[in-house]
Structure 1
Amino acid sequence: MNGTTLCPHCDTRFKIVETQLEAHQGMVRCGHCLQAFDARPGFIPDQPSPQLELPILNEPAPPHKLADEPPAVLAALDGAAASSITTAPDADAFAHEAINMDDVVSNKSELDAARYGTLDYVEMAAAAQNGMPPGVPLPPETESSQPMTLAEQVAIVQDEDDSEYRPERRTWPWAMAALLLLLISIAQAAYFFRVDLAARLPGLKPALVSYCQLLKCTVPLPQNTDLMSIESSNLEADPAHENQIVLNALLRNRAPYSQAFPNLELTLNDTRDNALARRVFRPADYLPPLESETIGLLPQHEISVRLHLETTDLRPTGYRLALLYPQP
């Protein structure tokens, strides 16, 4: 059934039909304040109009003439028409007038005539309000003059999964920022691990060298003392030269990549193992002519070192030999 409902948020009343009450357990959205509410508690069904309860005749009713009305009815109609020209009564006045006429009429025939006269009186009053002569049909009501229905003013509440508004998100700025951070991280990793990258991936060394030219840095050979060892060494006197000794050593690179040549630290001791002299030999001091310091000691390769040393009057009885790399 049809009726009206009241919005509890803004106290606006709207028309509503039964199908809208059955949908979504009566939940609707107010077209005025846009708030959702249950339309069932405030629903008021429409009351049928008394005019619609008249019996429907199979034969069309003959045209009604005012001349056939009783004198009492005509007098009442003349008075009502005169008052309607000056002041147009509202709908409540029409209903009150119809009830009074029912009291005046005593029999069924006069009651029917009074009711028909009331309908003519409504037409006359409407014509007087519109400034048109009686008998001229009123223009049909346009869509703009019709009251808005609840379907036009009230939006049915949909399921949250179907009607949830999801704002559009722009992902490309975040993608560009993430890409920029990734490039910065790669550049930092290439700078700090350039030595290991060049040693383990020789194909990247030209690119790393070009990159270091921009940053004013170098790509040196690896310097890992744990993978560089002295396989053997000895210190002996030189029979051809007095006060000279000869140091022989064998260096081995146990790394799977080339390494820089280390420095050799030689310490001469006396009989009590006290240091008499100490000297550090750089690669340029002990490398054979055929070896290149820039290439370094190849992986899994050895190199023989032979040094002639002038001892004068030190007369050492022992020595210690160690390899080391200079601190950056």
Structure 2
Amino acid sequence: MNRITRCPSCAMVYQLPELHLNAAKGWLRCGACGHAFDSTGLVLRWDPASSGPLVSSKVPVPGTGDIPPYPSAEAVQPVDLVADPADRISLDNSLTKEDLSSPAKIRPAQSELAAFEDALSSFKPEPVASEALPSPPKDSKALSSGAWLAPSGVLALALLLAMQLAYVQRDAIAASWPDSEPMIRHVCETFGCQVSPLRDPEGMVIDSSSLVKRSEDHVLSWSVRNTTHLVLGMTALELSLMDQEGKLVLRTVALPAQAGAPQTLSPGQSWSGSLKVLVSPDVVFSDYRVLSFYP
């Protein structure tokens, strides 16, 4: 049995086989205006024996080989209604009756969507338990102490670092500021450390020296000077005797205490000393060398 429908866009009426309608799942395209529409609820049964023939359009059905392909726009023609007004079909009344007597069935996709919307409207989310936030401190004194905690910690850390640096560089500090040496020594006595004179071998230079023979011994005289801007500890003196070939025949060392030298020399200060050197008659030398060093 054929069916008839009307385009909702241009009101053109068509007759089409039920096979085409089922294959297209209700979707049709108007051959006159090209409008695609869902014919659900707009289709009526049509008995060709009771009415005049209608020109039908062919609907394309994807995936079906036994159904003729969709005709071109020129092949699709509008319905030529019966010339006699008495024989015309009241499509509006028929559609109304068809809609009232047999309401269109809801497609599966539409029914699923309606069920989803109903479930969504009835859904009530469970209340999420809010995490307990820590209450702000009520005591203003606690807030005040917390505000000063970070600066106090930074200050204490900086003070501790300064004390550690002063402990490591105590000798250099005492040499740079001689007036601070008594205080540094007092602090070191409390903590069990000691202050030693700053050492700089390159800063202590021997300006002059001489080795003179007298009766049974030799007298060594020398002058040492502090060339730096710091207070440096006194160096020891090394005397080396060599023969004509430059080979070492005798070496002796004189500590500052043995030569009567002071423990330190101020910046630019010089000190001169002398020392008797006993040399055995068997030792023959022709040259000597003096060296200032820290033992």
TM-score (norm 2): 0.49
TM-score (norm 1): 0.45
Which protein has the bigger helix share? 1
Which protein has the bigger strand share? 2
